[in-house]
Amino acid sequence: MPELIRNDVVIDDTFAEAFGMRATAVIITADTIAWARQAAVTMTGFATSVIACGCEAGIERALDPAETPDARPGVRVLLFGVSTSVLEQQLVMRLGQCVLTAPGTACFAGLDGEERIKLGAAIRYFGDGWQIAKRLGGKRFWRIPVMDGEFVCEDTTGLTKQAVGGGNLMIMGRDRLSTLAAAEAAVSAIASVPDVIMPFPGGIARSGSKIGSKYKALAASTNDAYCPTLKGRVESALTPDIGSVLEIVIDGLTAASVRAAMQVGIGALVECGAANGLIRIGAGNYGGKLGKFQYPLHELLP
Amino acid sequence: MSATIFTLKETPPQRCDFSALIPGRTANVDEMERIEIQTTKERLRVGDLFRVTPGDEATLRFEGGSERFDCVGANMSGGRIEVIGDVGQMLGVGMRGGAIAVSGNAGRLAGAEMIGGRIEISGDAGDLAGGPLAGGTTGMRGGVIHIQGNAGERAGDRMRRGLLVVGGRAGSYLASRMIGGTVVCFGEARTLPGYLMRRGTIILGSRAEFLSPTFINTGAHELVAMRLLARWLIEEGIAGGSQLAATMRRLVGDTAIDGRGEIFLPA
C-alpha cells in the first residue's frame, strides 16, 4: 500500500466499509441538563452494537432550552437498527424502561419525516386509562400520569431509511495510553458533528472484531490481524512499532454525516501527530463485498 | 393578487344564507353575483347586495357585515374569508380548512361542528360556539376558534377535538358535555363550566362563578403540558398565551358521569 503521511502519521490507503441502516431520533428534556443526560445515558447504555444489543444508540448532542419543544434543557438521542420493526421495538422498550422512569423527563420526536414510528402511542397504556391525548398544531402528545406528575411524550417520531452505520477509524499507536489519548481527541472532535453518534463506550471500541471464528457458535471473534500481542504469530496488519490499536465506529443519519465525522476525526488525529505516540490511521472493511458505502481515507485528509 | 371584494350596498332585507359563496368556488365575477343567498321566497342575489370587485378567488373580503349574514364560510375547505363587520349564526359551520376572520361579532353556533381550519372573531360570539347543530352528537371535531371578546352560553358544547380560545368572558355551561379537545377562557366563566364533561381540558385563566362539586380538586401542579400549550398559543399569535401559569390547580371531573376531563384554574 502506498503510504501517505501527515504530521508524521501514516494514513493507510484503504477505505471504511459501512452499511445502510434504519434510524430514528428523540429529544429527551428534563428539569436540568443533568437529569436529561442521565435518562439518555440509561437509555443508550447497553446499545453499543446490533450484534447483541438490539440497536446502536447514543447522545448526538445537548440542546439549549431554546431548542426544545418545552423550553427545558435536553439532549437529542439517535438510535440505529437493522430493520424498522426491531428499531421500533428497541425504541419503545428503552423509552418505557429508561426515559419514562427518569425523574421529570419528557420525550419528543427528534426527527421529522413522513414515515413514523410509535413513541407515546406505544406506551400510553401505562396510564391505565388515565392517560390524556392532546393535539397541538399538527402534533399529538400523550400525558401519562406518573408519581412525579405527568410524563409528556409525543405520539410518534420520524424514521429514516437513509442512515449509515459502521463508518470507522482504526487508530494505531505506540502504546495503550498514547493511543487512547489520540482516540479521545478524535471522539471529542467528532462529538461536534451533527447527526452522528459513536455507539461504543466513550465512543471507542478496544475489541474490534472480524467475521467468523474457529468456534462454530460464534459469528464474530477478535480481529487478530490488529492484535498487538499476536504480531508476527498471525497474518498481522501491524508493523513492529505498533503497540496498541483502538477503533472509533460512527453511525450517522446520512452517508454525508458519516463522511463529515470521519473527516473531522482524521483531522483531529493528524493534529495529534506522531509526537505523542500516534503512528498510523487505518479503517476496517470487508473488501467492499458487504457494505453499500465506502469512505476512502485518502479522500478525507485535511 | 388581492382579495375579491364584496362591498355592501344596503342593509339586507332578510336573513341571508352565504353557504354557496365560499373561496375557490368560482373566479368569475358574474357567476359570483348570480349566487342566491335568500332564506325566504324573495330571491336575493349576491349582486343585489354587494358591489363585487374581482380578485383572487381564494380570498373573499366582505366590506360591511350584518348580523343577518348566516352560514358565512359554511363547509369551506380552504382559502380565506374576511368580514369587516358582524356576521349572523353558523359562521364556518362544518368548516374543513382555510381561515375566516370577522372584525365584529358573530351570532350563535359559530364554528359549529367544524372539522378543521381557523376562525378568528374580534368581537363577541353568541351561544354554542364550537358546539353541535340541533340533534348533533358532537360539537367541533378539529380546527381552532379564537373569540377575542366574550362567548355566550355553552361554548364548546359536546366538543370532540380542536381548540377553542375565549379572550374575554364565557357564559354559563362552558364546554358542557365535552368529549375531548381544549378550551381556554382567559376571562371569568359563568356558572358550571365543564358540566357533564367526559374528557378534554378546560383552562380558566381567571375564575368560575360556580364550580360543580362533582369536580375533584387534585391540587396545584406544574405541568410540562401547560408549557407546550402556552408556547403553541404564542406561536399561533393568540394573545394571552404567556399568561398561562406554569403552576395551576387541577380539578378532575365531571364525576357525575365518571368523567376524566379536567379544569385548570389559577393556583
Q: What is the pLDDT of residues B190-215, one digit of tens each?
A: 999 999 999 999 999 999 999 999 99
In a mutational test of the B interface, the residue from A29, A136, A146 whose CB has the highest number of chain B CBs within 10 Å is A136
Angle of helix A176-190 versus helix A255-272 axis, rounded to 10: 140
Q: Which residues of A touch B223 (CB under 8 A)?
A: 143, 149-150, 152
> Residues of B numbered 176-215 whose beta carbons fall under 8 angstroms of chain A's beta carbons: which are they?
180, 182, 199, 201
CA–CA gap between residue A28 and residue A41 (Å, rounded): 11
**What is the distance in angstroms between the Cα of B70 and the nearest Cα belonging to chain A?**
28
Q: Which helix (H) or strand (E) holds B263?
A: strand B261-266
Q: In the numeric block, which cell numbers belong to residue A201?
A: 463506550
Cβ pair B227:A134 closer than 8 A = no
Q: What is the mean pLDDT of chain B?
A: 96
Intervals of chain A under pLDDT 70: 1-2
pLDDT band at B235 (very low <50, low <70, confident <90, very high): confident
> Chain B residue closest to A150 (CA)?
B223
Average pLDDT over residues B167-178: 98
Which residue would you say has higher pLDDT here, A134 or B1?
Answer: A134
| pLDDT score of A86 | 97
The pLDDT value recorded for residue B239 is 80
CB contact under 8 A, B228 and A69: yes
Mean pLDDT of B176-185: 97
Chain A partners within 8 Å of B180 (Cβ): 133
B222 touches chain A (CB under 8 A): yes
Give the list of residues 6+ apart from residue A236 with CB closer than 8 angstroms, or none: A224, A225, A226, A227, A230
Tell me the per-residue pLDDT of B22-68, one tens digit each, with 9 for 90 and over: 998 888 889 999 999 999 999 999 999 999 999 999 999 999 999 99
Q: What is the pLDDT of residues B101-115, one digit of tens each?
A: 999 999 999 999 999
Nearest Cα of chain B lies from the Cα of A145 at a distance, in angstroms, of 11
A49: number of Cβ within 10 Å: 17
Q: Which of A137, A171, A132, A166 lies closest to A152 in space, CA to CA? A: A132
SS3 at position A130: coil
pLDDT at A2: 59
Is A130 within 8 Å of chain B by CB? yes
Q: Do B201 and A149 touch (CB under 8 A)?
A: no
A134 shares contact with chain B (CB less than 8 Å): yes
What is the pTM for the complete model shown?
A: 0.94
**pLDDT value, residue B27:** 81
Amino acid making up residue B78: G
